[in-house]
Amino acid sequence: MSPVPPPVSLRLGQDGLRALNEIAQHRGVSRAEAARQAIAETAQRERRRIDLAAEARQLMRNDAYVREAREVATLMEDLRGPR
């Protein structure tokens, strides 16, 4: 069994407390659980954002991909027609 991490204390301010109460109420959970969920979800979004940025950088180094992307963009502009 892993040890229980120590509790964390923070000041949310009025806006933060209002947002936390709103999350907790909408989800039907305690404020503590709402805070845990919000932190986990934010961390997951951040990991996804970092992964997508790395993938985009990798694709931009691929000359064949960049060439094809430009061709598709040109085709889409042509299909759109005059403005």
Give me the sign of the Cα torsion angle 32, 38, 44, 49. negative
Q: Running DSSP on this structure, what letter comes out for residue 28?
A: T
pLDDT tens profile 25-45: 999 999 999 999 999 999 999
End-to-end CA distance of the chain: 65
pLDDT tens profile 6-27: 999 999 999 999 999 999 999 9
Which pLDDT score, from 0 to 100, does residue 59 have?
96
Q: How many Cα atoms are found within 13 Å in the side-chain-facing hemisphere of 11?
A: 1
- Above 80 in pLDDT, residue 83? no
